[in-house]
Each structure stands twice: as structure tokens, then as C-alpha cells.
Amino acid sequence: MTKQQKIAWITGASSGLGAATALRLVKEGWVIAATARSADKIEVLIHHVEIFGGGGRIVNYPGDVTDAGQMQEIVARIEAELGPIDLALLNAGTYLPDTVETFAAAHLQTQYETNVIGTAHCLEPVLKLFRARNKGHIAIVSSVAGYRGLPRSLSYGSSKAALINLAEALAIELRGSKIKVQVVCPGFIKTPLTDKNDFYMPMLMDVDKAAEELVRGLNGGFFEISFPWIFSLLTKLVDLLPDRLYIWTIGKIKEKQWSMKNEQDRGSDSDSASADQSGDGPAKAA
């Protein structure tokens, strides 16, 4: 490793935005300390870099962000084995959609333990190191779902709102220091998390393009990194609505999406029935 190479610790690095960002930074010569529960998936990324090359490399530091002691140990190992961490991209998170019909306290707790408490477990050790040397870069991955309440997002959205608030408070507390704080608020990105959605996702973004935008934002000077920018702008404009008008507007959008989903389901059922009647469908037992 040369002196010029910077070190980034990325959590949630095994897939989705974390993995794509890791590969993007490797192209720019970064050394990536990759953390995720799926150590085998990180090994796939390492082999990808070995085959296709890049100016940097990926080192596997598997772990679960809900384990505070494990995160303390991983940060200490990275600093001892690779060198001082320059960037902490706290990206690990989970998404479990919920509604008033499916809401449960345990459901919310699961998401908060990963999205909020897990982020705090990672933040604590790097913040101590960064403050000790008055240098570092912290980027917390939230979501546009954290701006205001959204349907099917009772637990997830509120956990992401907590992260936005946390990042803002950090930026205020660290104002005047040489520690850079940013919050990342993506829109819909094509990842394993969004693949479980059964509703229309406007301006769904390719994960590699999203990683490109994220890295561009990390190199920039804005506190918030949000993409795709048109979707983010529209979302922020809607968020400016007074409470009553906002709730009515989002409620109507929810009704429209539900109507579109029902029409699609009926269309699928109709296509299946036609196929069965034409003899093109699967054979049925008499």
C-alpha cells in the first residue's frame, strides 16, 4: 500500500449500494475495509477486483453492526492492519415494509437495531478516532423516506429520519473541526432491498449509476448527497406542503398506486386464465 492510498470503511458492503460504491472507490485507488454479515459475498467482490483490476483493493472485515463489541474490534483492526481510516461510509441497513395492518413493535425494533443502533455502534469508535486526530470523513446513509412520513414505511421511514437528524446534529457539533459529515439520501435504487417492493417506484435508479453519484457527492462539499436529483427535488417540494395538504396528497398517491397494482394483478390473472383455456398454460389435474 502506498502513502497516497486512502482507506474507507464501508458497512453493508456485500451487496447493493455498498458493494457498488466499494468497487467505484477501488477504481479511484482507495483501499476498502468492507464489513457485512455475508463474508462470502465480500470475497466475491475481492475476486472481482483481482480479475478486473483497479487502483485499490478490498479487504474483508465481516461483522454484524448490531454487535457493538464487534464493531469496536473491527475498527481497531482496520487501523492496525491498514492504517488510519479516512472515510467511514455507514451504509448497513435493512428494509421491511409495514402498514397499519402489519405493524408490530418487534418489527420496528428489528429495523431500528440495524438502521439506527447499528449505525451508532459503527459511529462511536470512528468518531473517537477522528476527534483525537481532528480529521476524518463520516457519511451516514439514510433515505428520502426519512424526509416525511410515507405509506408502507412506518418503521423504515422513521428509522431513516432518525439518521438524518443524527447527521445534522453531528455536523453542528463538529462545525469548525476538520471532520467532514454528510448524509446520503437516495431515492429508489435497484437493489435486493427494493426488489421486494410490489409497488411502482418512480425514477428507479441503476445501482452503479447511484454509486457514481454517491462518490461524486463524497468528493463534493454539500452536506446532503441525494439522487436522482430530479426525484429528490420533487420530494423536497412536496415535503414543503402544510401537514394537512401533505397527508391528503400522499394519501391520494397511495390510493392511485394501490389501484394500479390491483389492475396489474387482474391483468396477470386474466392472462393466466387465457393461457389455461388456450392450452398454453400448465396442465391441471382432472
Question: Whose CA is closest to 213, among 251, 236, 184?
Answer: 184
Active-site residue identified among 95, 156, 200, 246: 156
The question of whether 156 is a catalytic residue gets the answer yes
Question: Whose CA is closest to 46, among 193, 209, 36?
Answer: 36
Work out whether the CA dihedral 58, 59, 63, 68 comes out positive or negative: negative
- CA 211/CA 227 separation, integer angstroms: 10
Q: Are 207 and 191 in contact (CB under 8 A)?
A: yes
Q: What is the largest CA-CA distance in the chain?
A: 77
Angle (CA) 124-127-128 rounded to 5° is 90
CA distances from 35 to 39, 227, 261, 271 (A): 8, 24, 37, 45
CA distances from 223 to 8, 115, 130, 158, 162 (A): 18, 20, 18, 20, 16
Q: Are 204 and 165 in contact (CB under 8 A)?
A: no
Q: Which residues are catalytic?
A: 156
